[in-house]
Amino acid sequence: MTPLGDTVSRKFVILKQSTFADTSTPDNIRAALRPETEMLYIETPGSPTIRPTDIAACTAIAKEHDLLLVVDNAFATPQLQRPPDLGADTKDLLADLAQALDTLN
């Protein structure tokens, strides 16, 4: 039997480095990008500030730099905000990961 950690690490990319940024403006996001950046992960509205991030602007930045856009939408829920409708690649990485792990069992 394969340990769960081995299964997960083969199925998902493990983040090696992160850059934290104030995502309240697109300029802040652009300034935080590095040549090795592969994914743009945003939480909107942010916790604990409740400051929104412009998902459509993040979509444009992600496409411009060929990045995966992941939106943590847990606080707003799909009742108030639908990131995929605004171009996000996925709406909630943790929910997607949990669903994938359930599938593996």
Domain at 81, CATH number:
3.40.640.10
Q: 10 in a domain, yes or no?
A: no
Instruction: Compute CA distances 75 → 6, 38, 53, whole Å.
Output: 31, 24, 13
In the prediction, which pLDDT does 92 show?
A: 60
**Nearest-5° Cα angle at 34, 88 to 27:** 65
In the prediction, which pLDDT does 99 show?
A: 64
The total number of structural domains in the chain stands at: 1
Model-wide pTM > 0.85: no
In the prediction, which pLDDT does 84 show?
A: 75
Q: 96 in a domain, yes or no?
A: yes
| pLDDT tens digits for range 14-73 | 566 788 888 889 999 999 999 989 889 888 877 788 888 899 999 999 999 999 888 887
Q: Give the residue numbers spanning the domain of 79.
A: 27-104
Q: 65 in a domain, yes or no?
A: yes
| pLDDT tens digits for range 90-99 | 756 566 666 6
Q: 11 in a domain, yes or no?
A: no
